[in-house]
Amino acid sequence: MSTVDADLPVDGRNERSRRTREAVVDALLALHDAGDLTPTAQRVAAKAGVALRTVYGHFNDMETLYAEAGERELRRLYAVAEVVPPELPLPERIEWFCRSRARVLEYLLPVMRATRLREPFSPQLARNRSRYIASADAEVERVFARELSGAQGPKTLDALYLATGGPAWDALRTDRHLDPTAAEAVMRRTVTALLATEGAA
């Protein structure tokens, strides 16, 4: 048997292990999407179609599973977001930015709701949140660099985070009972108002 042939069974096992691990994460995210924000390992296993021991064979505990799910969503949001050309006129940048941000937040909403429940007890989830906030701030600073270049730039950045962050989106969708289109319109109106002075300067 050649060296390559000898490696094939190991590679096959590794690939099956990878697929099983991904299926468990998929199951957790699917349960979140269905409104089950704190599923048990038993429900995750049932959704993934695997034995409970398989879940714990791949993840030490539910916190480890939550952490990996959060990491995956952070990576995927880049594929959902649009890259807004910073050279566009301000109204077009606002329109484009709010459309993209609304799509990202709606995509992440189930995970944001679930992780918020566990975040106080999970350093990894807190780190995931910090990374998301830093990424969101960087996008705002890139798209609205001209408007944020003045002395009030840091304060305006804080206000834009408040208007376009996950908690605001959740409040519009949950507390105000707005659909995604209406919530995006509120975001766009707020961002326009916040940048009106800076854009005119």
pLDDT tens across 10-61, in order?
567 788 888 999 999 999 989 988 888 888 999 999 999 999 999 999 999 8
Confidence of residue 121 (pLDDT cuts 50, 70, 90): confident
More confident residue, 106 or 117: 106
Q: How many CB atoms lie within 10 A of CB 175?
A: 8
- Give the pLDDT score at 57: 93
Cα–Cα dist 57/161, whole Å:
39
Domain ranges of the chain: 1-59, 84-200
- The answer as to CATH 1.10.10 being correct for domain 1-59 is yes
DSSP state of 82: -
